[in-house]
Structure 1
Amino acid sequence: MDSDSHPAAAPADDKTWEELVKNVLRAEMMRRGVSYAALAERLAAFGITDNELNLRNKVSRGRFTAVFLMQVLKALEVEWVHVPASIDDAARKGGAQALAASKRQP
């Protein structure tokens, strides 16, 4: 990174990060039209047993392991994850829908 490049200002609290990761996962599900029930089936194909309600609760909390994040991304066949420039905007209510509708480039 050169001296003129600066990362976007980071949110100050964990709650914002939790909302961001929850919205990013939900956006990827929306883009692919995958419900929590279908996600449970896709994860089961990898030998990961979790039911729809547990998945919904995990994602809703926005607090889960990096392993769970990677399992879900793999089950959704996500190859590129877009990290939005405005973390605060993406973490707001409706952020998942905005991310799902946004154009993204690998």
Structure 2
Amino acid sequence: MNATPLNASVPADGAAYAEWEDRAKELVLWGMAQRKLTYKELARRLERYGIDESADQINRKVNRKRFSAAFLLACLAAMEVESMPVPAKSTQRKLRPPR
């Protein structure tokens, strides 16, 4: 009897998430650019939420695009972001702060 694995249609390498990881990174960088924040200032703001990470740790996490949705939401809250564009499809342009 041949059994098909339940996750046979899911790519093993996580390629399906790569674009979303790029967008998550862009959202953090967009919020920082809009408010002219450094990683050090973001780290200070995250401390108010009980998140104790150095500026270097945050920088590495964001640049490697390996962070949780909870971390993304905490960053957005710490930056006091109330709304931002989240494109449904990939676009050629990067997110930019409004002028």
Q: Shared fold (TM-score greater than 0.5)?
A: yes
| Structure 2: gaps (5+ residues) | 1-14
Deviations 1:46-87 (A, max 9, x none): 221000110001111222111111110000000112112542
| Structure 1: gaps (5+ residues) | 1-11
Match runs of 1:20-99 below 5 Å: 20-84=23-87, 86-90=89-93, 95=94, 99=95
Which whole-Å CA distance do the structure 2 matches of 1:16 and 1:89 have between them?
12
Which whole-Å CA distance do the structure 1 matches of 2:97 and 2:68 have between them?
26
Larger radius of gyration: 2
Change (3 A) 1:29 1:78: same
Q: Pick from 88, 100, 103: which aligns with 2:96?
A: 100
- Compute the displacement of 1:101 (Å): 4.0
Aligned to 1:3: none
For 1:78, the aligned partner's letter is: V
Q: Which structure dedicates a bigger proportion of its chain to helix?
A: 1
For 2:55, the aligned partner's letter is: E
Which consecutive aligned stretches of 4+ in structure 1 deviate over 4 angstroms post-superposition? none
With the length of structure 1 as denominator, give the TM-score of the two structures. Answer: 0.70
Which whole-Å CA distance do the structure 2 matches of 1:86 and 1:41 have between them?
33
With the length of structure 2 as denominator, give the TM-score of the two structures. Answer: 0.75
Report sequence identity in percent. 35
Which whole-Å CA distance do the structure 2 matches of 1:14 and 1:62 have between them?
10
